[in-house]
Amino acid sequence: MVFKNLNFDSMLYLLTIFVDSQDNSIYKSITIFLISFFSNTFSAISGGGAGLFQLPALILSGVPYYQALASHKLATVALGIGGSLRNYKSLRNDIYIAVQILIFGLPGVIFGASLVEFISEQYLYLTLGVFSILLAFYSFIRSDLGLISVNNNLNFIHKIRFLIFIFFIGILNGSISSGTGLLVTILLIKTFGMDFLRAISLTFFTVGIFWNFTGAIYLSKIGTVPQNILFLLLIGSFAGGYFGAHVSKLKGNVLVKKTFTTVCLLVGISLFIKSIMSFL
């Protein structure tokens, strides 16, 4: 009789642990999905910045940095696909620019991903953080920035400068990820005179899909990617990307510009704080 009671108590105890673990697992899954959906919705509107919430959330959930970065990059591929499906018509006239971004950016992504194990992250965080904050203030001061699309006449120097910047942004994308989509978006606006909607569509297609997929494949060699978390991220990123692109299409460049400025500022502050904390 005592044995039966002990057996029943043990089974009840194990069942309680199982239920608690299931509740925690469900809560964790819902949290990761919602973070992925909303962060990628704002990223789809602003042209970047999904890593502001998504990457730290993965790290806080216990995923190692390199695996979290690889998972985040794979998820942002879904973001790029979702956004591109909604805005594919605007890509037709910019295929030549997209090819340039891929040819000169992908080597930078591969180079940056190969350096991620060796470089000091805090210096990159500090540099990109300060630059993102300055970018936010520049966007705020220039009230007409990215609101209309014009065709700039580029000389040879302008074209070479654009390709050099694309290569270096690719290095940043491969190594720290956060905020690089914003840099490509603003570079397209300043170089080619694009409006925000046009520039973001091109950023989705090039950075969101091809750059991030290349970086994710390279980083996944460092360690395995948690499949259960990746599945949730892919769904949340695709849905958020499509929804954000839909909202930006409806509301136009004014909303996109405001969101871009806000996300730039938040990304910059986040990276700056992360860098300062790493020095302490």
pLDDT band at 225 (very low <50, low <70, confident <90, very high): low
Burial class (CB within 10 angstroms; exposed 0-12, middle 13-18, buried 19+) of 121: middle
Mean pLDDT (whole number) for 242-266: 81
Contacts of residue 40, defined as CB under 8 A and 6 or more positions apart, other chains included, come to: 50, 54, 75, 76, 79, 82, 236, 237, 239, 240, 241, 244
Mean pLDDT of 186-209: 88
pLDDT in tens, 90-132: 677 888 999 999 999 999 998 888 876 676 667 777 777 787 8
Position 279 pLDDT exceeds 80: no
Single-letter amino acid code for the residue at 189: I
CB 105 within 8 A of CB 163: no
Stretch 73-87: mean pLDDT: 79
pLDDT for 2: 42
Helices (H) and strands (E) in the chain, counts: 11, 0
> In this predicted structure, what is the pLDDT of residue 5?
46
Whether the per-residue pLDDT at 50 is higher than 80: the answer is no
What's the rounded Cα separation, in Å, for the pair 264 and 138? Answer: 10
pLDDT given for residue 228 in this prediction: 76
The percent of residues in the chain predicted with pLDDT above 90, rounded, is 12
Contact residues for 22 (Cβ-Cβ < 8 A; gap 6+): none
Question: Taking every pair of C-alpha atoms in the chain, what is the biggest distance, in angstroms?
Answer: 91
Look up residue 247 and give its amino acid: V
Domain boundaries, the chain: 48-279
pLDDT at 264: 80
The whole-number average pLDDT for the span 239-261 is 82
CA distance 32 to 227: 13
Considering the entire predicted model, what is its pTM? 0.75
* pLDDT computed for residue 19 by the predictor: 37
Residue 169 has pLDDT above 90, yes or no: yes
Say if CB 227 and CB 205 are below 8 A apart.
no
Look at residues 211, 185, 194, 104 and name the one whose alpha carbon lies nearest to residue 154: 194
What would the pLDDT profile of 7-40 be if each residue is shown by its tens digit? 544 544 443 443 344 445 777 778 888 888 888 8
- Which residues make Cβ contacts (< 8 Å) with residue 201, sequence separation at least 6? 83, 84, 87, 88, 90, 91, 94, 245
Average pLDDT of the residues of the chain: 78
